[in-house]
Amino acid sequence: MKKIVLIFLLFLLIIAGCSNSEGEADSSNGEENVLAGETIQMIVPHAAGGGSDVVARSIAAEAAENLDASIGVVNTPGGGGAVGMAEGAAAPADGLNLTFGTIELTMLPHLDLADVTYEDFEPVAQVNFDPAAITVPADAPYDTVEEFIEYAKNNPGEIRVGGSGFGAIWHLASETFALENDIELDFVPFDGAAPSITALLGGHIEAVTASPGEVLEQVEAGELKTLAVMSDERSDAMPDVPTLEEEGVEPVNTGLWRGVMVPKDTPDEVIEELQEAFLEAAESEEYEEFMSNNGFGISVKDADGFREDMENDHESFEEIINEAGLNE
């Protein structure tokens, strides 16, 4: 009888042990996916409707599914991205506050426009890169970039060029292009590419520097025309548009990266979870199709590769901005 009781007790202990193991496994899985069920905010430091906004919303939708969480996009434009990125850097470092950072983060400190730098963030993943392009109204009196330069030389300061804020990448693209070709352009800052394109369509300015994807719809509709892209190679979004070098013009290669960042001191395990979700999103068929259909370039880098780009750009833009005298 005692033997039967001992066997029964041993059987109960085995069942209890299995239950504990399953419970520990469930707990472990919960810890691995710490953001599941959470509501996450992503700050976009530029206006709604522009390139940064639409790319952010596309990648956020895919990443949210991977995280089993919700991601709400909040537009916080101003200061060429300075306002939104400063707000993002100051947010709680809990993984629930993301910033869709842009290359301006490596430029603004050198222009004394913001105290925030790339060192105030931890990179998660880079998901996009696009070159600058010179776009004008379809009925503009110049059909090539060479004619555009000639007109600018004959009418110094009369061509008003719009872009996303003083000190933003499209401003730097415009200034560098003017310096390299010895022309005078009047840069007009906006809170993002979208309002600058609206101003161009309304006849309030004569040109914009923006990515091909940001003007693709209006170019295809015949309202605007893009004269050249500022890159080594033609844009996949506009394969018929030449590079500056192809047009015999002094080449200026500049463009815009975009990526996901979190505030400094965000826990490593949270960053790893976010990185996995956003890298998977950036390689998804849905994201690739969206970017292709809308003329945006895909450039995917993990946190280490993204950090390296930030460091390199921070150094190079300090030199460029000093040479252009934009910080005087």
Q: What is the mean pLDDT of the chain?
A: 89
Domain final residue, candidates 195, 230, 265: 230
Residue 140 and residue 283 in one domain: no
Residue 242 forms part of a structural domain: no
- pLDDT value, residue 149: 97
**Sequence letter at residue 214:** E
Query: Using CB atoms within 10 A of its CB, is residue 231 exposed (0-12), middle (13-18) or buried (19+)?
Result: buried
Q: Which own/partner pairs from 285-289 qualify as long-range (CB within 8 Å, at least 24 positions apart)?
A: 286/62, 287/58, 287/59, 287/62, 287/127
Identify whether the C-beta of residue 156 lies closer than 8 Å to the C-beta of residue 165.
Answer: no
- pLDDT value, residue 117: 96
Residue 246 forms part of a structural domain: no
Residue 226 and residue 284 in one domain: no
Q: Which residues contact 296 (CB under 8 A, 6 or more apart)?
A: 51, 55, 128, 130, 211, 213, 237
Q: State the pTM of this model.
A: 0.79
pLDDT, tens digit, for every residue of 164-200? 878 788 988 998 899 889 999 999 999 888 899 999 9
Mean pLDDT of 41-47: 95
What token pair was written down for 211? 């990515």
Residue 78 forms part of a structural domain: yes
Find the CATH number of the domain harbouring 151. 3.40.190.10
Residue 155 and residue 122 in one domain: no
Tell me the pLDDT band of 32, cut-offs 50, 70 and 90.
low
Query: Helix, strand or coil for residue 212?
Result: helix
Residue 120 and residue 143 in one domain: no
- pLDDT value, residue 253: 85
Percent pLDDT > 70 in the chain is: 90
Residue 8 has pLDDT above 70, yes or no: no
Domain final residue, candidates 193, 215, 230: 230
Mean pLDDT of 276-292: 97
Residue 118 and residue 139 in one domain: no
pLDDT, tens digit, for every residue of 114-153? 899 999 999 999 999 999 999 999 999 999 999 999 999 9
- Residue among 216, 269, 231, 213 at smallest CA distance from 32: 269
Residue 21 forms part of a structural domain: no
Residue 109 and residue 141 in one domain: no
- pLDDT value, residue 14: 45
Find the CATH number of the domain harbouring 270. 3.40.190.150
Residue 72 and residue 138 in one domain: no
Domain final residue, candidates 230, 248, 275: 230
- pLDDT value, residue 275: 98
**Sequence letter at residue 34:** V
Mean pLDDT of 94-99: 98
Tell me the pLDDT band of 322, cut-offs 50, 70 and 90.
confident
The total number of structural domains in the chain stands at 2
- pLDDT value, residue 320: 81
Residue 23 forms part of a structural domain: no
Instruction: Report residue 162: phi and psi, to 5°.
Output: -95, 155
Residue 148 and residue 191 in one domain: yes
Number of H helices, E strands in the chain: 10, 9
Q: Give the residue numbers spanning the domain of 207.
A: 131-230
For the chain, the first-to-last Cα distance in angstroms comes to 96
Residue 97 forms part of a structural domain: yes
Residue 3 forms part of a structural domain: no
Residue 143 and residue 80 in one domain: no
Residue 238 forms part of a structural domain: no
Identify whether the C-beta of residue 264 lies closer than 8 Å to the C-beta of residue 89.
Answer: yes
pLDDT, tens digit, for every residue of 195-251? 999 999 999 999 999 999 999 999 999 999 999 999 999 998 999 999 999 999 988
Residue 114 and residue 142 in one domain: no
Residue 185 and residue 118 in one domain: no
Residue 327 has pLDDT above 90, yes or no: no
- pLDDT value, residue 203: 97
Residue 45 and residue 105 in one domain: yes
Identify whether the C-beta of residue 76 lies closer than 8 Å to the C-beta of residue 191.
Answer: no
pLDDT, tens digit, for every residue of 57-84? 999 999 999 999 999 999 999 888 899 9
CA–CA separation, 216 and 50 (whole Å): 12
Residue 5 has pLDDT above 80, yes or no: no
Residue 22 has pLDDT above 60, yes or no: no
- Residue among 15, 228, 293, 269 at smallest CA distance from 122: 269
Residue 13 has pLDDT above 70, yes or no: no
Tell me the pLDDT band of 325, cut-offs 50, 70 and 90.
confident
Percent pLDDT > 90 in the chain is: 73
Residue 316 has pLDDT above 70, yes or no: yes
